[in-house]
């Protein structure tokens, strides 16, 4: 009797193995041990909806861990390349680990997802919707005039972000309008999309201090060999040109603007020239004052002589 039962069990085992190799399982498959196959496991449609395949991993206990390992050869940990792991309800994490086969014999957390939708790349405790630790984001495409970081309201208003443009330029947007443009030469434009200098501003600048580095200054005016124009020459130039020598005209300024450092140097040159004119005038005034004093003394002497002559005549 026992022999018959054994033969029956062996028969059904062979039938089941043969059936499973050629016939798909259309119902549920509950396995408490390991599934080993040299082929593949096909998942059928979900019982909850059509056109949907599902794989459920349900570990026993709220804080138990469910994991999927990807590797090669034997099931030894050293052969594991990647691991997907649900860390349980207490931790509230879902992690992607790089396995020992790729990470010099140890597991390393590469991506962490926290409850609430916080994603960490390189961070095991992300503090934002996307938290990247030690690394950068690289975007590769051949498109232009396209956003690569954009934040806006649900009604598509109040856009804030970064946008790329042709010629490898970048723009920064604030409240639906472009606030800044940086071109491939490193020129920055505020209020302009075509900056022609390291900083081009179409508007007002408010600053506590502006420092300009210059090569050379206007102290050459005080050198002995400097030829100071006479005031007559200055007057003639003004009459002919309508502006001081070495100073741009109003028409030139309207067309080309001014270079702040260069203009400061030229204005200082004129101030120093005025200082020399003032010194010259001061010297003339002193000489004239002495002459006047001398004339006053001479006048007083003449008055005294006239008085004496008048007395003699009387």
Give pLDDT, residue 45: 47
Are 128 and 152 found together in one domain? no
Task: Dump pLDDT digits (tens) for 212-254.
Answer: 888 888 889 999 999 999 999 999 999 999 999 999 999 999 9
Residues in the chain, overall count: 314
- CA 246, CA 275: separation in Å to the nearest integer? 17
- Total domains in the fold of the chain: 3
Are 131 and 150 found together in one domain? no
Q: What is the largest distance, in Å, between two alpha-carbon atoms of the chain?
A: 187
Q: What is the mean pLDDT of residues 130-159?
A: 85
Could you tell me the residue range of the domain that residue 68 belongs to?
63-137
pTM: 0.57
Average pLDDT score, the chain = 82
On whether residue 76 sits in a domain, the answer given is yes
On whether residue 95 sits in a domain, the answer given is yes
On whether residue 293 sits in a domain, the answer given is yes
Are 182 and 260 found together in one domain? no
On whether residue 104 sits in a domain, the answer given is yes
Domain's final residue, options 137, 154, 183: 137
Give pLDDT, residue 39: 47
On whether residue 84 sits in a domain, the answer given is yes
pLDDT exceeds 70 at position 10 = no
Range of lowest pLDDT (123-132, 148-157, 197-206, 222-231): 148-157
On whether residue 43 sits in a domain, the answer given is no
Query: Which of 21, 311, 12, 186 is CA-nearest to residue 4?
Result: 12
pLDDT exceeds 90 at position 167 = no
Are 107 and 163 found together in one domain? no
Burial of 269 (0-12, 13-18, 19+ CB in 10 A): buried
Are 94 and 111 found together in one domain? yes
């Amino acid at each position: 009797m026992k022999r018959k039962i054994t033969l029956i069990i062996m028969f059904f085992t062979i039938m089941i193995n043969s059936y499973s190799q050629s016939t798909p399982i259309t119902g549920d498959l509950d396995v408490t041990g390991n599934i080993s196959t040299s082929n593949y496991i096909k998942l059928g449609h979900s019982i909850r909806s059509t056109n949907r395949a599902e794989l459920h991993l349900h570990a026993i206990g709220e804080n138990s861990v469910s994991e999927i390992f990807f590797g090669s050869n034997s099931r030894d940990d050293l052969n594991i390349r990647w691991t997907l792991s649900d860390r349980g309800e207490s931790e509230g994490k879902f992690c992607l680990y790089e396995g020992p086969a790729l990470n010099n014999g140890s597991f390393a957390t590469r991506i962490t997802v926290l409850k609430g939708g916080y994603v960490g790349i390189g961070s095991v405790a992300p503090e934002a919707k996307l938290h990247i630790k030690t690394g950068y984001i690289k975007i590769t495409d051949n498109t232009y005039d396209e956003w690569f970081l954009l934040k806006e309201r649900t009604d598509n208003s109040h856009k804030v972000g970064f946008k790329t443009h042709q010629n490898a330029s970048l723009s920064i947007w604030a409240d639906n309008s472009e606030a800044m443009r940086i071109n491939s030469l490193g020129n920055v434009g505020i209020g302009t999309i075509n900056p022609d200098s390291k900083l081009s501003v179409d508007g007002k600048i408010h600053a506590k201090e502006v420092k300009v580095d210059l090569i050379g200054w206007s102290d050459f005016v005080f050198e002995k060999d400097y030829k100071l124009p006479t005031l007559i020459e200055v007057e003639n130039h003004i009459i002919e040109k309508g502006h001081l020598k070495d100073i741009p005209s109003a028409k030139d300024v309207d067309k080309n603007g001014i270079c702040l450092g260069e203009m400061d140097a030229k204005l200082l040159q004129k101030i120093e020239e005025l200082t020399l004119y003032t010194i010259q005038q001061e010297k003339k005034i002193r000489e004239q004052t002495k002459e006047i004093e001398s004339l006053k003394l001479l006048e007083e002497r003449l008055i005294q002589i006239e008085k004496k002559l008048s007395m003699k005549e009387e």
